A and B are shown apart, each in its own frame.
Chain A
């Protein structure tokens, strides 16, 4: 079949895998921000979860235990952030930064203390990871010209967490727009006083939002370490927690738009990787550092608002102080 088309499909395939942590982290950020809490600590939660998931998977020999452990670790950090920003009304960005730095340091210390190797966990065996799943019917559909390839490469052959990520987005949409919790969540991010005077707990809602975020980041971090890769390595999140925030802003805090933004990032990142070593006219060989810089450049360009101004929930970043 057409070489270009095939390459495109492979690139799309790679994009799916690359954007998964972004999806989980941005959905986590969505709950937090919709409730009025800024969560800069997505990166730290991803990192900590990746580390704990890889460690638990190695020690207990099961990716599922790794996943749960990662979710737990991420929730602990989410609660620290909540404690500081909600109960103690501190500066939300500062506590988010603290979480990131703490995660950075703790993962290094603990890898040394637990595994005697600074910065990495033991490589995971196949049965300790989440591996690709071949969907039923691949062989049957393979005969059909275009669809066969698409089904085999693009749709089948991902690990379970990838499918989970795509399933979670409609679920998030439904929770936010069709449930009582979602209504209250959106209200508390716009006008917490209205929620308080309606007899609801502002703090309770925000904690719940952060907890959900903790769980989602936990899955995202576990994905990075035990599904996409086979161990934890130093600083392996490489800024994805922040890129997820940019996707959230770019997607104007709506689940489907954010998903599209995550996918855009993933696609451009995967595309850039394909360009590695390729010689372009005029420019010559693209330096690998430029390729590596592309996701970050893109984030800045997106945030520069060439795509229109994004208005966050009104009560964003402000601790709720009871006064009339």
Chain B
């Protein structure tokens, strides 16, 4: 194998693999530190995620959210932008979905209503990203700080909406009324039942198909259209982009809108797929998880699908751990996210010198 091909393997597969393994190893250390046997914990985690039908269903349901936010972060990364606002964009995207679901004429066909609701999510997610995008492009305001601020603002906004605006009169808890059935995305177990197959009940619903669709769309857009080319060029070199007739400022705004829109799709799973109403914090953790997923998946839809699945496993496994073990809560998954981001992002070149020395040395 030529040296170039070896380097491609190292950069594309081995390096990310080593990084992820290190993150896992570090988590094992954390487990030991709090007095939990990491092997035991791993067994429980894997069983909880993949060992039984219902668990598997939950795993895929969580993974769906991570696909949306992972794609969002990845698209932004390709333009050289770090979108940390996924939490807020997902949250406000849900508002968009809810508004369509609650106020649309329920006598219309589901084939019309559901895409409209999805569009509501795309639109509102994009809206929540456009201001930080504009400020970065035209005023040089650091997008990392502004998107984080917008996460906090989203929280405030949504609490206000749910407490004062969308809450049903007389209801105690801050949530909207139920969406009309026409806008509900069917559960996978229901679909299977229609064809005579009996599988365990879980929140897994057809939004997973929406996730797969958008993965394909993003792949095609980024590598097989001239706009994707423009985005990737801008991300690699601002100067070369200007030289090529591309307007980097426009690209920043457009890319962030696409990114926000993708994050806004989380509500397609959580709201019209599972809960059928708008409620507080349905977005919690998925925005940041998307960062880990995008980094682990190296910003490519295929990698993102794999990484999203992995995080789905971790989330569901984490719930099982929380249930089975006294000392562990679901927040262990947050720790894992942090470690993945650290080793796949901040320390992504950690193993490169070693791998190159042993596997692709320079012939002198």
Of the candidate stretches A120-128, A190-198, A271-279, A289-297, the one touching chain B is: A289-297
Residues of B within 8 A of A84 (CB): 342, 346-347
CA distance A118 to B327 in the complex (A): 10
Choose from A98, A113, A245 the contact partner of B145 (Cβ within 8 Å): A245
CA distance A299 to B135 in the complex (A): 12
Are B140 and A305 touching (Cβ within 8 A)?
A: yes
CA distance A94 to B163 in the complex (A): 35
For A74-89 the 0/1 string (1 means CB < 8 A from B) is: 0000001101110011
B21 interface residue per 8 A CB criterion: no
Given A289-B156, A290-B156, A292-B156, the answer on whether A95 and B335 have CB atoms closer than 8 Å is no
Are B82 and A287 touching (Cβ within 8 A)?
A: no
Are B153 and A293 touching (Cβ within 8 A)?
A: yes
Are A93 and B30 touching (Cβ within 8 A)?
A: no
Given A101-B341, A289-B159, A297-B153, the answer on whether A94 and B145 have CB atoms closer than 8 Å is no
Residues of A within 8 A of B91 (CB): none
Are B149 and A109 touching (Cβ within 8 A)?
A: no
Given A90-B347, A90-B348, A105-B334, the answer on whether A98 and B341 have CB atoms closer than 8 Å is yes
Are B338 and A239 touching (Cβ within 8 A)?
A: no
Are A113 and B346 touching (Cβ within 8 A)?
A: no
Query: Chain A, interface size: which category?
Result: 35 or more
B188 interface residue per 8 A CB criterion: no
Could you tell me how many residues of chain B have their Cβ less than 8 Å away from some Cβ of chain A?
A: 49
B34 interface residue per 8 A CB criterion: yes
B186 interface residue per 8 A CB criterion: no
Please report which residues of chain B, range 56-100, place their CB below 8 angstroms from some CB of chain A when the two chains form the complex: 82, 84
CA distance A95 to B82 in the complex (A): 12
Residues of B within 8 A of A118 (CB): 329, 331
Residues of B within 8 A of A290 (CB): 156, 160
Choose from B132, B328, B339 the contact partner of A102 (Cβ within 8 Å): B339
Residues of A within 8 A of B280 (CB): none
Are B35 and A109 touching (Cβ within 8 A)?
A: no
Are B335 and A105 touching (Cβ within 8 A)?
A: yes
A246 interface residue per 8 A CB criterion: yes
Residue of B nearest to A106 (CB): B335
Are A88 and B150 touching (Cβ within 8 A)?
A: no
Residues of B within 8 A of A40 (CB): 144
Given A88-B349, A297-B153, the answer on whether A97 and B341 have CB atoms closer than 8 Å is yes
Are B329 and A304 touching (Cβ within 8 A)?
A: no
Given A88-B349, A98-B338, A110-B34, the answer on whether A304 and B142 have CB atoms closer than 8 Å is no
A99 interface residue per 8 A CB criterion: yes
User: Could you list 11 examples of A-B contacts with CB < 8 Å?
Assistant: A91-B345, A97-B82, A98-B341, A100-B338, A101-B334, A105-B332, A118-B329, A118-B331, A304-B139, A305-B135, A305-B141
Q: Please give the residue numbers on chain A whose beta carbons come within 8 Å of chain B beta carbons, in ascending order.
A: 40, 80-81, 83-85, 88-95, 97-106, 108-110, 112-113, 118, 238-239, 242, 245-246, 249, 287, 289-290, 292-293, 296-297, 299-300, 303-305, 309
Q: Please give the residue numbers on chain B whose beta carbons come within 8 Å of chain A beta carbons, in ascending order.
A: 30, 34-35, 82, 84, 131-132, 135, 139-142, 144-146, 148-150, 152-153, 156-157, 159-160, 163-164, 288, 291, 295, 327-329, 331-339, 341-342, 345-350
